[in-house]
């Protein structure tokens, strides 16, 4: 059997392993993100909007500093390790992990010092002194997360996604459990909003500790297994220098010095690969962080004191978990999109390339548009359902519209990444951050959080539309205006009419019941009915107007056969 036949023989199992790993990691990422996103709702319910405001001011800062501390190393470690594993250079793969861990320990410690000792200064920059305790609390996570991220990259380089998946879910679970445990304890002791928010952010520390412990357990368990495999591959027992200290004479000392020099070269290579990735990953946290550093100060110009400003900032963030949920769905789509487009580009097949990009962008428009309009029209009942109050509903309604533009930015950015244009999406987000600063300064002093929400719509629209135009130009896709734009807008119009009928008609019907529902129960009924009716009307309209074709529906296994036959029978599908 020649080398080509060997390669063909291993291609299928390798592809199967990659697919299985991607599915496992994708599901774990969705679960962990869902836990991390939706925990904000009970946090606000239990602690109130002042604590919610402090938490939402501090957490984006932590994410930004965390991205700076890790600087794209997980992906880079994964790449370098996979290259060494492919050549059966397992000792070199471990050296990549070791060197990357040293670099990340240093960067994490520096960033910890910045947050811990600079907490008061950062709180002053935010013009929100109550955030300083929460900043110090979350800073300790930076001593743990960088090493955990290096270990995750190491296992991903071996195509073993299980350790990363398990650690992600456990990390988020422990984080949320700690958050609510300390929240209940501090509220019972009568602590103020600053201490309660610090307890909430400390969940990131215990979650990171739990995730790191999981990775270390896997690492220790696999050391022996990998060692046995390496001995088998090499055909002889491995000899480790550390086990023979008596042999460290001058030639060995020279060899160790050369090894240290090669470590520095490896550090330089790691940094050269990691820094561009870091620039791409920090752009979104910077856009989110703009509000943390501008809103508390600008809300004081609106006529509020610090406590009132943080309370309003909490109200402003009511819509964020739902928008992030839509963005999470788009991110899950993009995970499969980048390699798909990159593969089509590698095959040099422009027709397949245009088709894949066109379908992805059209689905994004169809899903994002409906999500944005639906959340916006249901903002008031959703606000009361999730947050026990209708305060801030107008800001929530405006902010919901960013769901469309954030999904457009994510998917169009993924298309561009598939074409190798990694920097452009980051530049568009940075341009959006600059626009958000200017719009906040112009609108917030006059309109408060409603102005901030309008500024967010404008900023995300700028980033999303720039990325979309660039993606269309790069792929050569020319969307059919009728099917891609006008018909989806008609479908959304029908959906909006059905939602308005629910939000205006159902409360009157509920009011006529012999037993009146409490306000929150009534709002929950209206919101859930609106989601169900709106989704049904929208999907039926998409099918009837031909926005989604029968051929596309047949690609979904669960719709083949009787469901599609029924749609054809009732005249909804041609």
Average pLDDT, the chain: 82
- pLDDT value of position 343: 62
Would residue 33 count as lying in a domain?
Answer: yes
Query: Between these two residues, 511 and 417, which has the higher pLDDT value?
Result: 511
As a whole number, mean pLDDT of residues 218-232 equals: 69
Helix residue ranges, H only, 140-192: 145-157, 162-188
Same-domain status, 277 and 299:
no
Task: Measure CA 427 to chain center.
Answer: 18
pTM of the model: 0.80
Would residue 460 count as lying in a domain?
Answer: yes
- Among 418, 422, 407, residue whose Cα is nearest residue 461: 407
138 pLDDT band (50/70/90 cuts)?
A: very high
- pLDDT value of position 256: 45
Instruction: Report the residue count for the chain.
Output: 574
Same-domain status, 21 and 151:
yes
pLDDT per position as a tens digit, 392-443: 999 999 999 999 999 888 888 878 876 777 788 889 999 999 999 999 999 9
Would residue 491 count as lying in a domain?
Answer: no
Same-domain status, 416 and 565:
no
Would residue 237 count as lying in a domain?
Answer: no
- pLDDT value of position 553: 62
Same-domain status, 441 and 515:
no
Would residue 240 count as lying in a domain?
Answer: no
Would residue 252 count as lying in a domain?
Answer: no
Give me the sign of the Cα torsion angle 156, 161, 163, 167: positive
Same-domain status, 375 and 513:
no
Highest-confidence range of 156-165, 241-250, 348-357, by mean pLDDT? 156-165
Number of structural domains the chain divides into: 3
pLDDT per position as a tens digit, 4-35: 444 344 444 444 555 455 556 556 666 776 77
Rounded to whole angstroms, how far apart are CA atoms 390 and 379? 9
- Among 301, 262, 252, residue whose Cα is nearest residue 447: 301
Same-domain status, 530 and 473:
no
Query: Could you tell me the residue range of the domain that residue 357 belongs to?
Result: 292-479
CB-CB contact of 164 with 229 (8 Å): no
Q: What does 300-341 look like in DSSP terms, one character per residue?
A: HHTT--HHHHHHHHHHHGGGHHHHHHHHHHHHHHHHHHHHHH
Same-domain status, 539 and 443:
no
Same-domain status, 516 and 425:
no
Same-domain status, 453 and 335:
yes
Same-domain status, 324 and 200:
no
Instruction: Choose the final residue of a domain: 479, 510, 543.
Output: 479
As a whole number, mean pLDDT of residues 107-130 equals: 94
- How many angstroms separate the Cα of 388 from the Cα of each of 36, 281, 311, 449, 523? 21, 35, 15, 19, 10
């Amino acid at each position: 059997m020649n080398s080509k036949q060997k390669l063909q023989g291993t291609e299928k199992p390798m592809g199967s392993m990659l697919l299985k790993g991607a599915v496992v990691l994708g599901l774990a990422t969705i679960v962990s993100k869902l836990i991390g996103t939706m925990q904000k709702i009970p946090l606000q319910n239990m602690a109130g909007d002042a604590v919610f405001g402090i938490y939402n001011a501090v957490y984006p800062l932590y994410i930004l500093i965390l991205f700076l501390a890790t600087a794209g190393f997980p992906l880079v470690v994964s790449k370098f390790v996979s290259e060494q594993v492919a050549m059966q250079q397992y000792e070199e793969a471990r050296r990549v992990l070791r060197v990357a861990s040293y670099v990340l320990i240093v960067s994490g410690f520096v960033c910890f010092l910045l947050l811990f000792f600079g907490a008061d200064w950062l709180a002053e920059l935010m013009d929100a002194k109550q955030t300083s305790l929460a900043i110090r609390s979350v800073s300790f996570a930076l001593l743990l997360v960088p090493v955990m991220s290096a270990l995750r990259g190491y296992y991903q380089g071996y195509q073993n996604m299980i350790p990363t998946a398990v650690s992600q879910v456990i990390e988020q679970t422990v984080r949320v459990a700690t958050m609510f445990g300390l929240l209940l304890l501090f509220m019972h002791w009568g602590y103020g909003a600053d201490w309660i928010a610090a307890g909430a952010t400390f969940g990131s520390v215990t979650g990171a500790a739990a995730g790191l412990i999981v990775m270390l357990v896997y690492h220790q368990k696999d050391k022996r297994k990998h060692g046995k495999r390496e001995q088998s591959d090499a055909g002889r027992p491995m000899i480790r220098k550390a086990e023979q200290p008596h042999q460290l004479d001058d030639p060995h000392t020279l060899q160790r010095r050369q090894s240290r020099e090669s470590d520095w070269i490896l550090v330089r290579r790691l940094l050269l690969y990691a820094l561009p990735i870091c620039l791409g990953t920090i752009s979104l946290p910077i856009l989110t962080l703009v509000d943390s550093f501008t809103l508390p100060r600008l809300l004081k110009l609106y006529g509020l004191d610090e406590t009132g400003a943080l309370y309003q900032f909490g109200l402003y963030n009511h819509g964020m978990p739902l928008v992030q949920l839509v963005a999470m769905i788009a991110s899950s789509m993009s995970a499969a999109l980048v390699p798909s487009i990159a593969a089509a580009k590698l095959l040099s097949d422009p027709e397949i390339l245009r088709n894949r990009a066109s379908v992805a962008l059209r689905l994004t428009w169809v899903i994002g548009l409906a999500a944005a309009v639906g959340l916006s029209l249901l903002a008031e009942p959703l606000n009361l359902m999730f947050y026990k109050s209708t305060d801030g509903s107008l800001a929530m309604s405006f902010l919901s519209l960013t769901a469309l533009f954030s999904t457009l930015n994510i998917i169009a950015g993924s298309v561009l990444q598939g074409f190798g244009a990694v920097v452009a999406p980051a530049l568009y987000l940075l341009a959006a951050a600059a626009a958000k600063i200017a719009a906040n300064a112009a609108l917030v002093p006059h309109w408060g959080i409603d102005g901030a929400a309008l500024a967010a719509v404008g900023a995300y629209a700028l980033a999303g539309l720039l990325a979309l135009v660039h993606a269309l130009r790069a792929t050569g896709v020319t969307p059919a205006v009728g099917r891609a734009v006008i018909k989806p807008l008609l479908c959304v119009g029908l959906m909006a009419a059905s939602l308005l009928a629910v939000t205006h008609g159902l409360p009157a019907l509920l009011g006529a019941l012999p037993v009146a529902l409490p306000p929150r129960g009534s709002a929950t009924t209206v919101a859930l009915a609106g989601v169900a009716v709106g989704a049904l009307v929208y999907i039926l309209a998409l099918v009837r107007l031909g926005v989604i074709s029968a051929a596309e529906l047949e690609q979904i296994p669960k719709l083949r056969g009787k469901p599609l036959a029924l749609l054809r029978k009732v005249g909804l599908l041609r």
